[in-house]
Amino acid sequence: MSEENKHRATAAAILPLVGGAANVTSVAHCMTRLRLGLRDRSLVQEEALTALPAVMGVVDDDTYQIVLGPGAVARVTPEFEALVAAERAAAPEGPAAPAAPAAPAGGSDPVTAEELAAQGAALRAERKARNATPFKLFLRRIANIFVPLIPALIGCGIIAGLNGLLVNLGRLPGLTPALAAIASGFMALIAVFVGYNTAKEFGGTPILGGAVASIIVYAKVADVEAFGQHLSPGQGGVLGALAAACLGVYVEKRCRRWVPESVDVLVTPTVTVLVPGLATLFGLMFLAGEVSSWIGDAADWLLAHGGAGAGLLLGGLFLPLVMLGLHQALIPIHTTLIEGAGFTVLLPILAMAGAGQVGAALAIYLRLPRNTSIRTTIKSALWPGFLGVGEPLIYGVSLPLGRPFVTACAGGAFGGAFVGLFNQLGTDVGSTAIGPSGWALFPLLDGNHGLAQTIAVYAAGLLVGYVAGFVATYWFGFTKTMLAELNVAPDAPAPASPAPVATEERVREKV
């Protein structure tokens, strides 16, 4: 089957399992996930969906997210959109397809991958309800501003890395200036894109948000004096653009409410650009510039003085932060560091959390030789885990088991401590973009001591994370009771127990 037909077949298999075109309200994708807005999530046949070969996992959040992996998701999404449009055109009044009745629960007592998937789905639903606080919803909206920028950050980051390699080798001197321009053009104007997305996210006119934010990167702002000093083009960066566009949205909404319709087309755009523009020049640029400088200094201080300890905490706590929805607060911090220093030193440390998950999965695979169901799940999810797509391992294996999730976090903590130690010793390991992790982060690495040393430290950190996650899970990830319950073939009778414990209670016990 050709690549095009394969992706079309994947889209065609997914559509009926999410309730058909009538149940789909929006379609989008990020680096690894197909993100769907659904009218009725009870129509989703999740068990059948996760059984599809191309689907690595699902995440039930503000949108219903189907993990397809990097590359594949960008090809499946347009095919899915075309199928949705075609189905709607053929039956515009047709109701959403009813969900197939759920299969009856199996009577076998041994825990299978299907049970773990169901437990993972329950944990995702619980996490979603817990994360629906005003503060976390606000963080999610902030993340929605920056996530669409990730593909450009990755592309420009890889080109910047290639250009740096050619410069260091003294090769193609006629081409390297052009590559530098291509790699730097987006970062020079990133404030404009942030302003555009901010206005779009908060209900304003996107182009007006971009217009207000573009003031920050205009060269002639150097002629403007604020707080006793001349401004610099780009001062305040993405944080200034975010604040300026938010103010623009507020002003625009006020204008729409009070300005007569007869002059709205003239007055509202003018006031929306003028008032926030003046506030940006005479306040926001300076204040956001101070905050951006503080963030860069704080990151440098943290790793210079905290080193291994800071890396231990960041690597070990990152996945719990993801579960709580607080990791989205890091996205503007990463972007600010990239804008200021050219790379973020935090992402390679946080990426160690995924290495701990991989090591834990390998240990689970060896500790449960008889449970072919869980081992099959691990085999299908392991390679995506190496590439930084951790959801299938987290929600399909370690989190439902409980203790292995904790020991996997311990593996990430050791990997983070290793990379943090080298930062403390003066070897910065950074990433020129956000989004990828695991092996997929190698093309985006940058630092202050040459690419070879940066890659070596990051690779060694991954190895430490793998080994620590493996050892911690192999020796401490299972109790004797857990092994007795789990290390059984799916079709074998369960060992006799005087007081059987319900599946949900077993999971709580394991944690």
The residues annotated as belonging to the active site are 30
Strand partners, 430: 446
Question: Of 323, 361, 353, 470, whose CA–CA distance to 417 is shortest?
Answer: 353
Whole-number Å distance between alpha carbons of 380 and 375: 9
Q: In three state form, how does the secondary structure of 432-472 look?
A: CCCCCCHHHHHHHEEECCCHHHHHHHHHHHHHHHHHHHHHH
Q: How far apart (Å, rounded) are the C-alpha atoms in residues 73 and 510?
A: 34
Integer Cα distance of 482 and 473 in angstroms = 13
Q: Where are the alpha helices (DSSP H) in 222-301?
A: 237-258, 261-279, 285-301
**Rounded Cα gap, residues 317 and 67, in angstroms:** 23
Question: SS3 of 233, please?
Answer: coil
- Please report the sign of the dihedral spanned by the C-alpha atoms of residue 380, residue 386, residue 389, residue 395: positive
Q: Which 8-state DSSP code applies to residue 230?
A: E
Q: Provide the strand spans (E) within 330-477.
A: 429-431, 445-447
